[in-house]
Amino acid sequence: MKEIRLHGRGGQGVVKASQIVVKAAVGAGGYGQFIPFFGVERKGSPVFGFLRLDDKAIRRNMQVYEPDILLIFDDTLIELPSVYEGLKEDAVVIINSKKTIQQLNIPSQVREVAIVDATAISLDIFGKNIPNTAMLGAFAKVTGLVDKEILLDEIAAEFGEKNRTAALDGYNRVQSTQLK
């Protein structure tokens, strides 16, 4: 089982992104579970959620305390101590940013860092900062945990063709670096 924690800000589509990943996992014959967490429910405030993917039924139903993968929808959140908390050894971090790895202060236990400027993609396509589908494209490419075509179909069914384009751009533009 892969445990994933998502960090974003209200309005960036963290919840919808997670729901689409679960649909794609189930569509490919796997299992998925998403547990959202809402603090103050207002646009721009930090939000996070917990996602699990596996090829067998998932019985665990609680927060993810030791994630294998982090998806960070807003690079300003890395300053919060809770973002990297509990990260497993050899973890993968996927960040929406235009910063360099050195500017992101990546913890030592991270094996791979993937950076995609999902904000730029969403601004180009939608005219506003909704990076979720571009982040999903990057997630599909970096982790291989969801089938790209099934994911793209789920995105298009939920949001339309512009979002499929955003996901493909995220898939094609993500830059991944092995640290270990």
CA gyration radius for the chain? 15
pLDDT in tens, 89-135: 999 999 999 999 989 989 999 999 999 999 999 999 999 999 999 99
Q: What is the mean pLDDT of the chain?
A: 93
Residue 173 has pLDDT above 90, yes or no: yes
Label each residue of the chain as H, E or C.
Answer: CEEEEEEEECCCCHHHHHHHHHHHHHHCCCEEEEEEECCCCCCCCEEEEEEEEECCCCCCCCCCCCCCEEEECCHHHHHCCCCCCCCCCCEEEEEECCCCCHHHCCCCCEEEEEEECHHHHHHHHHCCCCCHHHHHHHHHHHHCCCCHHHHHHHHHHHHCHHHHHHHHHHHHHCEEEECC
The domain segmentation of the chain, as residue ranges, is 2-178
Q: CATH for 2-178?
A: 3.40.920.10
Residue 87 has pLDDT above 70, yes or no: yes
Residue 75 has pLDDT above 70, yes or no: yes
